[in-house]
Amino acid sequence: MIEDDILTLKNSFLRIFLFVCVTILIGQVDYTTQVQPIFYNYCLDCHVAVHGSGALELDSYEYLIQGDSNNGPVVFPFNADSSLLYRVLLRDSVIVPNEPICCRMPKNADPLTIEQQTIIYNWINEGAIGPTVSIQEEALKQSPVLRVYPNPFNNRIEISYKVIEPGPVNVSIFDILGKQVKTIARVDHNIGWNSGFWDGKDNAGRAVSGGIYLIRLQSLERLEIIEKILYIK
């Protein structure tokens, strides 16, 4: 018990030290350039879904702040120590009493580095400020950002998408029930047009049935575009 208390104190002092250092060196943590890339690279394998499903979604600031249907809000601005989003990063490294989550996050993966944990910790304690309106408005001025042809399609559909700012882009196919069927692209892109295609097969190479599907484009600018397509077999 004493060893656990000492370990907790050591981690607390380390985080306070890093909090001061990061604040001095880089100032206020920016959600767009510092926090969201962590979620994108380490969390979206599980925490991305069709909005409104009730699960915790980390690809959107608005849905992150709402939390999930099981735990409610997972972020309490100005109080990282009480925020479940931060607390689940600490399991296996410090004692987290009465935690409703059974395992450390990211699940089945290496823990986030102390620096990454500190970025999230500082961001929450600074008020968990989201993306600025000006960035969103500037992103929305860029149009079009997603094109598909032909639609409806039979054997293959061409997918073209425009990247507004360099960074990670996720283009995926979902069925009408919200289940992800195929990942078209999940890589870093430079500014400009990029392209891919879908041949009516899932990630395992199995042919899917005909019907209505959704192409979803999610980029680092938080710009989400969904295009409905019709697959005719």
Domains of the chain, earliest start first: 2-125 (no CATH), 133-231 (2.60.40.4070)
Residue 52 CA, distance from chain mean position = 15
Q: Give the amino acid at 124.
A: I
- Provide the pLDDT for residue 14: 55
| Preceding omega of 168 cis (within 30 degrees of 0) | no
The whole-angstrom separation of Cα 196 and Cα 215 is 12
Residue 156's closest CA among 179, 177, 180, 182? 182
Residue 48's φ and ψ, nearest 5 degrees, are -145, 135
Residue 196's φ and ψ, nearest 5 degrees, are -155, -170
Global pTM reads 0.49
CA atoms within 13 A on the CB side of 122: 26
Residues paired with 192 in a beta bridge: 163
Render each residue's pLDDT in the chain as its tens digit; 233 residues. Answer: 455 544 454 555 555 555 555 444 446 888 888 888 888 888 877 776 554 445 788 877 888 888 877 778 889 988 998 888 888 887 654 444 554 455 678 877 888 888 899 999 999 998 888 876 544 455 445 444 788 999 999 999 999 888 777 778 889 999 988 889 999 988 887 778 888 999 999 999 999 999 999 998 887 655 677 888 999 98
The whole-angstrom separation of Cα 55 and Cα 99 is 18
